[in-house]
Amino acid sequence: MGATTESVQVDGDKLMQFVFRAVDEVGATLNAALVVMGDKFGHPPSRPWR
C-alpha cells in the first residue's frame, strides 16, 4: 500500500493574522487575570498622572 502526499499551499497573510489574533487574545486573558488578582488582594487602582 503506497502512501500519497499532497502539498498544501499556506496563505502567509492569513496565517499571520491568525497568529496575531491568538497572541492578542492571550494577552487579553492574562490582563483579565491580573485585574481579578488586583481586586482580590485589594490593590488600589492606578491614578492618572497629575
For the chain, domain boundaries? 13-40
| Cα distance between residue 47 and residue 9, in whole Å | 50
Tell the residue number behind the cell numbers 499532497, with chain if given.
Answer: 6
Model confidence at 50: pLDDT above 60 = no
Question: What cell does 33 get?
Answer: 487575570
Among 39, 41, 17, 37, residue whose Cα is nearest residue 29: 37
Answer yes or no: pTM beyond 0.85.
no
Question: Per-residue pLDDT averaged across 17-30, rounded?
Answer: 95
C-alpha dihedral sign at 9, 21, 24, 39: negative
pLDDT tier at 2, thresholds 50, 70, 90: low
Which residue type does 50 have? Answer: R
Pick the residue with more confidence: 35 or 22? Answer: 22
